[in-house]
Amino acid sequence: MKKLAKKVAIVTGSSRGIGKEIAMKLAQEGARVVINYNRSPEKAEEVVNQIQQQGGEATAIQADISQVDQIQQLVEKAVEQYGQLDILVSNAGVEHFGKLEEIAPQDFERVFSVNVAGQLFVTQAAARHLSSGGHIVLTSSVSAKIPVFYHTLYAASKAAVSAMVLNLAPELGERGITINAIAPGGTATDMAEENAKFYTHPALRDLPPNTVLKTTASLQRLAQPKEIAAVVAFLVSDDASYITGSTLAADGGMF
56 contact partners, CB below 8 Å, separation of at least 6: 27, 28, 30, 31, 32, 33
Task: Respond yes or no: is residue 113 known to be catalytic.
Answer: no
Q: Is the Cβ–Cβ distance between 13 and 92 less than 8 Å?
A: yes
According to DSSP, the β-strands at 178-184 and 247-250 are: parallel
Distance CA 145, CA 9 (A): 29
First to last CA, the chain: 40
Instruction: Name the catalytic one among 14, 66, 113, 141.
Output: 141
Instruction: Name the catalytic one among 37, 82, 154, 199.
Output: 154
Instruction: Name the catalytic one among 7, 20, 25, 158.
Output: 158
Task: Respond yes or no: is residue 140 known to be catalytic.
Answer: yes
Task: Respond yes or no: is residue 141 known to be catalytic.
Answer: yes
Question: Which stretch of DSSP H or E encloses residue 68?
Answer: helix 68-82
Distance CA 209, CA 252 (A): 17
- Number of other CB atoms surrounding residue 78 within 10 Å: 26
47: exposed, middle or buried (Cβ count in 10 Å: 0-12, 13-18, 19+): buried
- Number of other CB atoms surrounding residue 216 within 10 Å: 21
Task: Respond yes or no: is residue 131 known to be catalytic.
Answer: no
Instruction: Name the catalytic one among 14, 15, 90, 140.
Output: 140
Residues, the chain: 255
> Which candidate, 189, 183, 97, 173, places its Cα nearest to that of 130?
173
Annotated catalytic residues are 140-141, 154, 158
